[in-house]
Chain A
Amino acid sequence: DIQMTQSPSSLSTSVGDRVTITCRASQTISTYLNWYQQKPGKAPKLLIYAASILHSGVPSRFSGSGSGTDFTLTISSLQPEDFATYYCQQSYTAPPYTFGQGTKLEIK
């Protein structure tokens, strides 16, 4: 199975900061990479699919890039509602659809 590793596991940030989260796959996955946002007690929400395509309704401050094994999720200017946990997930060789371990954005 393909393993997904995110870094950092947590990040203390402030409103207005530019934030970058990294996701690395254990083997090449082309651009078969999705990003999700999860707030406490809520279901995950799809943010980005195919590594860089914003899902419907997702604000443009979110962007994704990468291909092969290395991917990034960038939030250009962090808003209060963006404090959450973010997960990457591969769909290249699936099932199983493996997720990263998550990156928690915390208020500094």
Chain B
Amino acid sequence: EVQLVETGGGLIQPGGSLRLSCAASGFIVSNNHMNWVRQAPGKGLEWVSLIYSAGTTYYADSVKGRFTISRDNSKNTLYIQMNSLRAEDTAVYYCARLLAPAGHYAFDIWGHGTMVTVSS
């Protein structure tokens, strides 16, 4: 079964760091374009970061310089290292696969999400 499972969320103080993990099953992370998308409480979806299968990475302006996306091929797992966390980073963080059916990129597989709360 194709599946993504996120872990690592929790309560963290402003300025702190946290690393989220996303374990994949049913497909190979390194052969796919993988993303992090977040959703603040009661708000909409916000794309956060992307790592292409070739390894190129991209970030939303709101997290650039603070977050780092990476993957461990041996563990088939995606990560995001979040530093200098702010209250506005509080959200459910989803990992999602980006596929290009018919040449149009779309997020076809999503994890269940992990909650990150930044508060003192």
Q: Could you list which residues of chain A lie within 8 angstroms of chain B, going by C-beta atoms? A: 31-32, 34, 36, 38, 42-46, 49-50, 53, 55, 87, 89, 91, 94-102
Contact = CB atoms under 8 A, between A and B. Distances in A.
Chain A interface secondary structure, helix, strand, loop or mixed?
loop
B102 A50 contact: yes
A13 B78 CA distance: 40
B55 interface: no
Interface residues of B, number: 23
Contacts of B47: 95-99
Contacts of B111: 43
B58 interface: yes
A43 B98 CA distance: 15
Contact of B104 (A32, A44, A95, A101): A32
B26 interface: no
A38 B98 CA distance: 17
